[in-house]
Amino acid sequence: MYGSEAKALFTKRIFWDANFELIDYDAKANWVIERVFSRGDVEDIRQCRRYYGDEKMSEALLDAKFLPEHRMHLAIAVVDKPLKKFKYYTLRRSNPELFPY
């Protein structure tokens, strides 16, 4: 178990496509962290930081294959690393999207 003894308290809407009661927060830590950053609010992110700690959060976010564009800047602030260190950024640069009109 990570950081604290108490189980992390996330809202069910983040994990709408999974059985919320059966989520193993320790075994699926990277998936949970990515999901919280993609769909959670500020309180969910605080719970995630409290439960996993900054080191595990940084590791998971740097290794994430996808984060929404508007959450990428929040992840940069939390991890305190440059954008070029994120796997998502390097993957996105290698597969650029068409310019939206």
For residues 72 and 86, the answer to whether their CB atoms sit within 8 Å is yes
Task: Give the tens place of pLDDT for each residue, 74-98.
Answer: 888 888 888 888 888 777 766 666 5
List Cα–Cα distances, 97 to 14, 38, 46, 92, 100, in angstroms.
27, 20, 32, 8, 8
For residues 51 and 25, the answer to whether their CB atoms sit within 8 Å is yes
pLDDT band at 100 (very low <50, low <70, confident <90, very high): low
Q: Could you tell me the residue ranges of all domains in the chain?
A: 23-94
pLDDT at 69 over 90: no
Task: Give the tens place of pLDDT for each residue, 15-28.
Answer: 988 988 888 999 99
